[in-house]
Amino acid sequence: MNREEGRAGFAIGGDDERDAPPAKPELDLNQFLPYRLNSLADRISQALAQLYEERYQLNIAQWRVLAWLSHCDELTAKKVCTYTNMDKARVSRAIQALEDRGLIHRTPSPRDQRLHDLHLTSAGQALLAELVPEAQAWEAGLVATLTAGEYRDLLNVMRKLERQLERIG
């Protein structure tokens, strides 16, 4: 070891790496999948929300409740929270607003008196009969840039990531 080197073989003196501040870790968010997916999902959700806000006076939470009710015959607020990843207060406000507008009604659950089953009213069904085709047409316009194979692959990749997320927690 020469006199300019320390124990680990690093040069001792003025302008070496030890005098420089430690490199800060960097994360290029444009190359970070969680950020990109979240950003895209937010942009898509906000653009679609504009459609059902302007035409139907529905917010995102209300739309999600109605969409799940169009998919399930009976639903509880607790299940809506689980399916949509929305918090209980947000779901509760959405349900109350939809009920106030006569789009859904609640009945005590025969399985658990602490819960209420949610049902679409005829007005809710009529609104969805108009809104769902518009939402599907909007989605079709969004994915029109993809080939059928790319669209299928996108959905398959998303399912794989969802399964992996369930495995790793």
- At residue 6 the predicted structure's pLDDT band, cuts being 50, 70 and 90, is very low
Spell out the domain ranges in the chain: 31-168
Question: For the chain, what is the mean pLDDT?
Answer: 89
Question: Which CATH number applies to 31-168?
Answer: 1.10.10.10
Residue among 33, 44, 115, 32 nearest 74 (CA):
115
Identify the pLDDT of residue 31: 92
User: What does the block give as tokens for 158?
Assistant: 């998303």
Identify the pLDDT of residue 133: 95
- pTM value? 0.75
Rounded-to-integer distance, Cα 91 and Cα 60, Å? 10
Q: How far is CA 53 from CA 7, 60, 84, 87, in A?
A: 68, 8, 19, 21
The three-state secondary structure class of 51 is helix
Rounded-to-integer distance, Cα 67 and Cα 132, Å? 8
Contacts of 63 (CB under 8 A, 6+ apart): 49, 52, 131
Q: What one-character DSSP code corresponds to residue 24?
A: P
- At residue 154 the predicted structure's pLDDT band, cuts being 50, 70 and 90, is very high
pLDDT digit string, tens, across residues 120-130 = 999 999 999 99
With 70 as the cut, is the pLDDT of residue 13 above it? no
